Amino acid sequence: MASGFGLFRGIKRQKALYETYRLTIDENAVTREQKNTQTIRLPKSDITLITKNTNGSFTIKGKSPRDVIGIAPQIEDHEELELLLRQMRPFNGPVHQPLLVRYGRFSGAGALILFAAVFLSTSITIVTLAGLVLVGLLVWSVIEVQKNKNMDAKTKRSIYLVIVPIFMIIAKIAVLWM
């Protein structure tokens, strides 16, 4: 029952984000506004890359790796938008994505394996190595979520709950080394 309620609230939150998405293109910049997210404004001179993805969505990248505007394929006036974007800059092919982005769907399984190694193993070497890798990945994920301009405020607040498993992992390693 609780998971159903949580799922309902999550879908409702995603729907609100989707419904408040607003893209503005003027003579100087492209701006994305969305409820509970930081506004992203990319001056046209700072746009380094525009791609049309295989699913019909668009990605506009600025000079900074954090300056990214994603545009869903369901956006109104899709063809008109494509013409506007092509006038700004020719489209590039698919962008080389970092390894963690490309294989992100497997990260959950990898994290579970590392958690199992930390909490089920009695080997000090396995627990220490798996624990350090897992703590590093968890800290990295907190930093990435906080820096991401496309994440909503609630997600940015709730990511701090990751501190609990980080302390549990550190405690397990400390107990084995004593």
Query: How large a percentage of the chain has pLDDT more than 70?
Result: 89
pLDDT in tens, 60-99: 888 887 888 888 888 888 888 888 888 888 777 666 666 6
Q: What count of other Cβ atoms lies within 10 Å of the Cβ of residue 68?
A: 17
- Residue 28: give its domain's CATH number: 2.30.29.30
Mean pLDDT, to the nearest integer, of 138-144?
90
Q: Answer whether residue 172 shows pLDDT above 90.
A: yes
Domain of residue 80 covers 8-88
Q: Are 72 and 130 part of one and the same domain?
A: no
Q: For residue 3, tell me if it sits in a domain.
A: no
CA distance 7 to 84: 37
Assess if residue 115 is contained within a domain: yes
In a domain, 158, yes or no: yes
Main-chain phi, psi angles of 21, to 5 degrees: -65, 130
Is residue 57 included in any domain, yes or no? yes
Q: What is the pLDDT of residues 28-70, one digit of tens each?
A: 888 888 887 788 888 888 888 888 888 888 888 888 878 888 8
109 and 83 within one domain = no
Higher pLDDT, 45 or 172: 172
Q: Is residue 94 part of a domain?
A: no
